[in-house]
Amino acid sequence: MLAILESLSGAEDQGFHCDTKKPGVTGITSYEQDQFVYVLFFSFCAMRILEDLRKDRLAATEYVRARLAAKLDVFTDKEWETMAETRVWQFLVHEEFKARNVRPFEVVRVPVRKDHTIVMDTRCVHAGAPWPGSHRAYRGHFYGYERDLQKQTPEQMVDKDEYLTVDLCEEDFLPIVGWAQLDKIFKLKAVARS
């Protein structure tokens, strides 16, 4: 998919997100003047681990629930579904992040020079930087990922996934947000403006 985005003067920054849950690439090209994008360094590693773990979420959290229930009767079904399961999931993912040495996330302001393109994996957490300029700014985006049309039903072929971004506040992705918010985990790395 290709898109041209226009940022009006004084446009605020965009929230952190991934472009799709599917493996692929995102390209950002700056037109007419230098621009910037915020990239959450080391988030890609965490997203890949999370991608592997998500397949076993139900089994892993049910195992913990059974172990807790064997010791004491702690959660009703409703309490488990509305409160405890998400916290247990986050705990398990964070323990795996620690075991695999996921580094603290760093917000890095990455320049996109005029008429240049940066390319990153679609699962790399990033955000559009604010546009403080006195005039409009334009940038091009392209997204590429495999869509196996032979394996899709007609309904799936009209999937608008490329028009969506991954909401990191979805239950499956909360461990990424939680990891970023842990005390002394989230660092803002100063990058000199040019």
Domain boundaries of the chain, sorted by first residue: 2-46+105-188, 51-99
Architecture of the structural domain at 2-46+105-188:
Sandwich (2.60)
DSSP letter at 91 equals H
Confidence of residue 79 (pLDDT cuts 50, 70, 90): confident
Q: Which residues contact 37 (CB under 8 A, 6 or more apart)?
A: 28, 109, 110, 112, 118, 126, 127, 128, 129
Asked whether the predicted pLDDT for residue 186 surpasses 60, the reply is: no
First to last CA, the chain: 31
Q: Give me the percent of the chain exceeding a pLDDT of 90.
A: 29
Mean pLDDT of 22-48: 89
Write out pLDDT tens, residues 90-147.
999 999 999 999 998 988 999 999 999 999 998 899 988 877 777 777 888 887 876 6
Closest C-alpha among 115, 133, 119, 109 to residue 30: 115
What pLDDT is attached to residue 56?
Answer: 93
Confidence of residue 60 (pLDDT cuts 50, 70, 90): very high
What pLDDT is attached to residue 153?
Answer: 60
CA 151, 145, 142: angle at the middle one, nearest 5? 140
Buried/exposed 85-112: b ≥16 CB within 10 Å, e otherwise: bbebbbebbbebbeeeebeebbbbebbb
User: What single letter denotes the amino acid at residue 124?
Assistant: C
Mean pLDDT of the chain: 80
Asked whether the predicted pLDDT for residue 178 surpasses 70, the reply is: yes
